[in-house]
Amino acid sequence: MVTLVCAGAVILSLAGAAIAFDAAAPDASSGPGGASAEMKPNNPSPAPTPEQDPAARSAKSIECSQKADAQDLHGKPRKHFIHNCKRGI
């Protein structure tokens, strides 16, 4: 009798944990306005960036790339250098 009670308690606790786990997981099947929409964090969209002239951006990009070539930079150091160069740092 005690074994059956313990087994029942274990099954109920595992079922409760599974239900809690399912509630925390996002539901991919529900669309906009579904139950999962309430659980999504309210992330505002990023502010739009001002548009630049593509020709000017390309010229600066090419200039920074040539400077990186002159320093024989590759990989992450090159990416970091070009990023700072474009920003004017």
Q: Is 75 a member of any domain?
A: yes
Q: Is 36 a member of any domain?
A: no
Question: Is the pLDDT score of 5 beyond 80?
Answer: no
What is the per-residue pLDDT for 89?
A: 86
Cβ-contact 61, 86 below 8 angstroms: yes
- The pLDDT tens digits of the residues spanning 26-71 come to 555 555 555 555 556 676 666 666 666 666 668 899 999 999 999 9
Cβ-contact 82, 65 below 8 angstroms: yes
For residue 66, give its domain range. Answer: 54-89
Enter the tokens of residue 13: 């606790």
Q: Is 32 a member of any domain?
A: no
Domains in the chain: how many in total? Answer: 1
What is the per-residue pLDDT for 11?
A: 72
- What predicted TM-score, i.e. pTM, was given to this entire model? 0.38
Q: Is 43 a member of any domain?
A: no
Q: Is 86 a member of any domain?
A: yes
What is the per-residue pLDDT for 30?
A: 52
Q: Is 48 a member of any domain?
A: no
